[in-house]
Structure 1
Amino acid sequence: MTVILVLGLLFVLLAIGTPVGFAMGFSGAVGLLMVGGSGTLFGILQTAPLSTVSSYELITIPMFLLMAELVLLSGVADDMFKTASAWIGRVPGGLGMATALAGAGFGAICGTSTASAATLSATSLPAMIKQGYEPKMAAGVVAISGTLAMLIPPSVALVIFGLLAEVNIGQLLIGGILPAVLVTATIMATIYFLVWQDPSRAPSVEPVSWREKFTLLWQVGPMVLLFTLVTGTIYLGIATPTEASALGAAGALVLAVAKRRVTPATLYRALLSACHGTCMIATILVGASIFGYFFTLTHVTQDLVAWIGSLPASRWVIITLILCGYIVLGSFMDQIA
């Protein structure tokens, strides 16, 4: 009964717009008070915040967020989209495919789906609409391409999952590359199929000379270098994910300075935005930790695992049901939440 009341309180708080971290922390604290009393509650409140945010690996998050902000500042996303559209623009649905490639490329040096989707909506969406693309198709391509940043290293979502699940973050980041390639290819194949069905959805663009194509190709060089600086050093064992995140942030700063986009005001905004994002994520982690203690004390987690393990169902059925839950939650909640 206590578990049902606490879960009900959590959903009510989420429904009225309470930030996820505070909703989980408050409902978890109420549950701890009901189950273990004030002694248990205050004991956990005294230790949980520090033990949650004092992890050395947590430094990875502000570094990757700062890297994303500096990459946004450098304007490299525009260069990637222009290059991709020049090379495959003549293919049916070429601009849409270029958006998917730009989303994958930007995700490889960004780390957050929110920033990736926002950047693509400001760069590729107007270009597709101007070219005569069907608005709902153009918006759909941007929305799905922005999520690629969750898979491609450096991925803040994978770092947080690694912290929560206590698994190797470096292996998680490397493991996201192949799924990201498959998802990108699937997006491009879907675009081609939809345009093959109805060519009016995506008119062709003007051809670009080979000289201009190769000229534009040089513009993606910094992106490849930055991706190698982060993922390559992790893959080769030269640096840990934490060290690689610092290298990536430094490389992004050099890139922004080289493009003459850095001023005291823009640098301040980038630092402030990275701080805001870090504080939001830290609040969610602390709230999740408090709520997790409540679940542990009530044995809900152990009982749920035992019950699911006893079901006569394939592991793929269980994974599918979990993914369906993610689809529903992802419709109105941020990925980190």
Structure 2
Amino acid sequence: MAQFVLHSGALSSLFDSARVLVGRLRGGTAHAAVGAGAIFAAVSGSSTAAAATLAHTSTGELIRQGYDKKLSAGVVAAAGTLAAMIPPSVLLIFYAITAEAGVGPTLIAGIIPGILVALALIITITVLITFNASTAPRGEASSGQEKLRSLTGLLPVAGLFVLVVGLVFLGVTTATEAAAVGCLGALGLMLGKKKITWATITKSFAEALSSSIMILTIIMAAHVFGHFITESQVTPRLVDALSGLPVAPIIIVAIIAVGYLILGFFMDQMAIIALTVPVTLPVVTALGFDPIWFGIVVILLAEIGLITPPLGLNVFVVAQASKMPVEDVFRGSVPFVIAILAVAVLLFAFPQIVLILPEMMGRL
């Protein structure tokens, strides 16, 4: 689905459409980059792909309009992380498979946290501009007619997201069946954009197959690792040891969460899930915590590693696309790292924020 949408050319207009809608505000173009990142995330599933696309479509425009270079690059790198949380996130699906949790509920659980991260990024932009007005120019107003026209760039992609996620949420289809519907919808989008050619179809299938093989190989390795952990009795011993500690269970889970934050600085997010979830999840569930809530918190903390040194994959992607020094992009990302951390703390303190939609889904 993501490859069909990407080759349809529908994503190239997301940033421009969002900019027309909110461009009159000071910092509106930066807000538009976050909005475009959220919508791209809703059909992409890959943070790196989102960051690369946004870097090519929006970083140069932000700088051209007079935005501070560090702010411009930081916004784009941070907006790319939304694809890790907003369904249909590849990481959410991978976690659900590794944790043997329901794929549908896990995907749905990412909606509110994804929206909160997007709002946190927008609030951060507003605060930065308020304290230093020179980092962003005055907004450019657009006519009502221009705003109506801009919707044609947003509605097809947003409609595809609503279709896929709505089918899963309402229980009309399984996540797999919804994916098939999404592929058909994306193919229809290619047809509407007159982008269907033998070359685009072949390239879409080749890239999707390459990604799928990579993910399936990691899943196979994760299951072998999980079997080894089970046979070696590491997890039961760890559960017994941690359960006997004279501290509250929430403190133990908080320590585990900090560990994931640190791992995100040095490891790929999918590798983190594959290597650690078979060990940590039984501990967390034994302490009485929900596995879906834990997965959302883990992925949110791990995705911070996409914009922090030394790995910071999104930062390197944006730096390469915008021809900026990597250290400048890292500096520009710091305020947004704090914003995402604040959302993680909020989800940790109030698990119901994550669980409310999956619970509603279960009652339908």
The verdict on a shared fold, with TM-score over 0.5 as the criterion, is yes
Does the 8 A contact of 1:100 with 1:187 survive in 2?
A: yes
* d(CA) in 2 for partners of 1:134, 1:251: 38
* d(CA) in 2 for partners of 1:118, 1:143: 9
1:162 to 83, 93, 96: 96
| Letter matched to residue 239 of structure 2 | V
Q: 1:110-121 counterparts in 2 under 5 A?
A: 110-121=44-55
* d(CA) in 2 for partners of 1:153, 1:334: 19
| Letter matched to residue 70 of structure 1 | F
Tell me by how many angstroms 1:281 deviates: 0.7
Change in CA separation of 1:77 and 1:172 when aligned onto 2, cut-off 3 Å:
same
1:98 aligns with 2:15: no
1:234 to 134, 154, 168: 168
Tell me by how many angstroms 1:315 deviates: 4.1
2:230 to 274, 293, 296: 296
Provide the secondary structure at the position in 2 that maps to 1:139: helix
Q: Which moved more, 1:126-135 or 1:301-310?
A: 301-310
Change in CA separation of 1:69 and 1:319 when aligned onto 2, cut-off 3 Å:
farther
Equivalent position of 1:271 in the other structure: 205
Does the 8 A contact of 2:25 with 2:140 survive in 1?
A: no
Tell me by how many angstroms 1:161 deviates: 1.0
Change in CA separation of 1:291 and 1:123 when aligned onto 2, cut-off 3 Å:
same
TM-score calculated relative to the size of structure 2: 0.71
Change in CA separation of 1:101 and 1:294 when aligned onto 2, cut-off 3 Å:
same
Equivalent position of 1:245 in the other structure: 179
Equivalent position of 1:59 in the other structure: none
Equivalent position of 1:195 in the other structure: 129
Change in CA separation of 1:102 and 1:316 when aligned onto 2, cut-off 3 Å:
farther
Give the CA RMSD over aligned residues. Answer: 1.7
Cα deviations across residues 176-216 of structure 1 (Å, max 9, x unaligned)? 11111111111100110011111111222422112101111
Does the 8 A contact of 1:92 with 1:196 survive in 2?
A: no
Does the 8 A contact of 1:68 with 1:115 survive in 2?
A: no
1:317 aligns with 2:251: yes
Tell me by how many angstroms 1:113 deviates: 1.5
* d(CA) in 2 for partners of 1:103, 1:302: 41
The structure with more radius of gyration: 1
* d(CA) in 2 for partners of 1:317, 1:194: 33
| Letter matched to residue 217 of structure 1 | L
* Contiguous gaps of at least 5 residues in structure 1: 1-66
Cα deviations across residues 94-118 of structure 1 (Å, max 9, x unaligned)? 1111111111111112222222112
* d(CA) in 2 for partners of 1:267, 1:204: 43
* d(CA) in 2 for partners of 1:73, 1:321: 43
* Contiguous gaps of at least 5 residues in structure 2: 272-364
Q: Which moved more, 1:71-80 or 1:119-128?
A: 71-80
Equivalent position of 1:139 in the other structure: 73
Change in CA separation of 1:331 and 1:273 when aligned onto 2, cut-off 3 Å:
farther
* d(CA) in 2 for partners of 1:99, 1:225: 19
Tell me by how many angstroms 1:332 deviates: 4.1
1:283 aligns with 2:222: no
* d(CA) in 1 for partners of 2:69, 2:258: 27
Equivalent position of 1:86 in the other structure: 20
Q: Which moved more, 1:311-320 or 1:149-158?
A: 311-320
2:192 to 240, 258, 280: 258
| Deviation >6 Å, runs of 4+ | none
* d(CA) in 1 for partners of 2:56, 2:65: 15
* d(CA) in 1 for partners of 2:9, 2:242: 47
Q: Identical aligned pairs, as a percentage?
A: 44
Tell me by how many angstroms 1:169 deviates: 1.2
Does the 8 A contact of 2:18 with 2:35 survive in 1?
A: yes
Change in CA separation of 1:151 and 1:315 when aligned onto 2, cut-off 3 Å:
farther
Change in CA separation of 1:71 and 1:133 when aligned onto 2, cut-off 3 Å:
same
Change in CA separation of 1:135 and 1:328 when aligned onto 2, cut-off 3 Å:
farther
| Letter matched to residue 18 of structure 2 | A
Aligned length in residues: 271
* d(CA) in 2 for partners of 1:127, 1:315: 48
Equivalent position of 2:297 in the other structure: none
Tell me by how many angstroms 1:304 deviates: 1.8
TM-score calculated relative to the size of structure 1: 0.76
Tell me by how many angstroms 1:68 deviates: 1.0
Change in CA separation of 1:274 and 1:333 when aligned onto 2, cut-off 3 Å:
farther
* d(CA) in 1 for partners of 2:259, 2:69: 28
